[in-house]
Structure 1
Amino acid sequence: MVTFLASGILLFQLLISGQEAPSQSSSQSPAPVEAEADQPESAVTPPITLIGKEAPELILSDISGKSFDLSSLSDQIVVMEWTLPECRFNRRIYAQHKMIPMMRRWGKQGVKWVSVNSAFFAHPVKVQPWIDKYKIKNPYLFDPSGHCAEAFGVKNSPTYLVLDRGKIVYHGALDDDVWGSKADRKHYLDQAIGQVVEGVPVTHPLTRTYGMEIRTRRTEDLRRAALEKMRKEALEREANPGTPPAEEESSEEEGRQ
């Protein structure tokens, strides 16, 4: 009975996984990093391997259903924003007027902005109120398979990339203000854009992101597979209460050897 209850708790934890939570400890601020370790099952490209390289191909549909090809902006400075309207970190950034004014300010200097939503459940009907609320004019693209997020090394919303004539020169967070309460924060993205516009190297090309994990089609399939496996194991233990879990059996075997 105890084993079955524990399995139920684990199932519940898996069910709520992927909800809004910072991707790092709240006691730490995002800072320049040299590398980010991937989980063994992850298909996400390590961001460090992308810096200074040509951006992967990206052809997606925008909110109106029209096809958008990132290569059409290969001769310009582009900011790519991975965003989820459902993410409270993303909502907070927009509500605090940290994003739209930046878009407009740099837009006057020719910087292009592209928003990408890689959540498996994203749909134009759900996103349209967000577009209308903030009067977003830049392309808003949908990546339901999550393949583009993986290719661009993106796991969390929000995540920002800066492209200089087709090459990735910045990958990371908006700033180091996880909870939006710092009086003196480091403006990583704004600084990176400014340095690219000035034609000088980006000081911090890679910073640690914070926000909500993007539930791509692949991560959702993995989550559901894990849930199904645990459900079957729990049912088997309930039907055969005297049979110890596989892990316990293997541990006992090792102890006898």
Structure 2
Amino acid sequence: MVRRSVLSIGILAAMLAVPLVANAVHVGDAAPDFTGMDSNGKTHKLSDYRGKYVVLEWTNNGCPYTQKHYNSGNMQALQKEWTAKGVVWLTVLSSAPGEQGYMTAAQENSYMSREKASPTAALLDPTGAIGHEYSAKTTPHMFVIDPSGKLIYDGAIDDHATTDLSDVKVSKNYVSAALNEAMVGQPVAVSYTRPYGCSVKYQ
């Protein structure tokens, strides 16, 4: 009886230690609306962009997987290409204060200027509220939302889960593939992949 009680307590403690993800979103669902402030002090609501494609990019500048895509210029090229085509690209920073990748507004603006990054905006999410809405797991973790507000892609940026910069040139980019297919009225062939990278550094 004592052993069973101890076991039950252990199981309960383990369950309590695991964060509950009540707002898990899946491809085909309506993307959760959110409100976030960017590094310039402007407020953004996802619902404000209804009628446009939206890309959400979770980032952490201290993560080698994120660095792969910025040091190679890949992420900046994607941001420039797709925003020029009318896509809203929101970079999201969900690292908590004191954790790897946490940035103040001034630090993030300096970083983006240095890296020549050009998202529509960089949303500061130090409480992890937006990250938890989307169950963002890694940096990078990418989501694509269509003009009706539906999630059409969730997962990795590409098919090479490495930190090797040279892999970028030979990788299939899932974000670009999803946008290209959706924009011509085709179903997204690969709508979900397992994201790779560093874990999001939630508080």
Q: CA deviation at 1:212?
A: 0.9
Partners of 1:66 and 1:170 in 2: CA distance: 26
Name the % identity. Answer: 28
Q: How does 1:1-257 map to 2 (within 5 A)?
A: 41-44=18-21, 49-121=25-97, 122=102, 123-137=104-118, 138-165=120-147, 166-179=149-162, 180=164, 181-182=166-167, 184-217=170-203
Whether the aligned pair in 2 keeps the contact of 1:44 and 1:155 (CA below 8 Å) is no
Q: 1:45 to 1:189 in 2, by over 3 A?
A: farther
**Which ranges in structure 2 are unaligned for 5 or more consecutive residues?**
1-15
Letter matched to residue 54 of structure 1: A
SS in 1 for 2:90: strand
**Which ranges in structure 1 are unaligned for 5 or more consecutive residues?**
1-38, 218-257
Q: CA deviation at 1:160?
A: 0.5
SS in 1 for 2:86: coil
Paired residues in the alignment total 178
Partners of 1:45 and 1:149 in 2: CA distance: 12
Q: CA deviation at 1:46?
A: 7.9
Whether the aligned pair in 2 keeps the contact of 1:192 and 1:205 (CA below 8 Å) is yes
Whether the aligned pair in 2 keeps the contact of 1:44 and 1:149 (CA below 8 Å) is no
Partners of 1:150 and 1:136 in 2: CA distance: 25
TM-score by length of 2: 0.80
Partners of 1:45 and 1:131 in 2: CA distance: 33
Q: 1:82 to 1:45 in 2, by over 3 A?
A: farther
Letter matched to residue 118 of structure 1: S
Greater gyration radius: 1
Deviations 1:61-84 (A, max 9, x none): 110222111111111011111111
Q: 1:148 to 1:204 in 2, by over 3 A?
A: same
Deviations 1:43-75 (A, max 9, x none): 34686x521111112101110222111111111
Q: 1:173 to 1:46 in 2, by over 3 A?
A: farther
TM-score by length of 1: 0.64
Whether the aligned pair in 1 keeps the contact of 2:79 and 2:117 (CA below 8 Å) is no
Letter matched to residue 107 of structure 1: T
Structure 1 stretches (4+) deviating beyond 4 angstroms? none
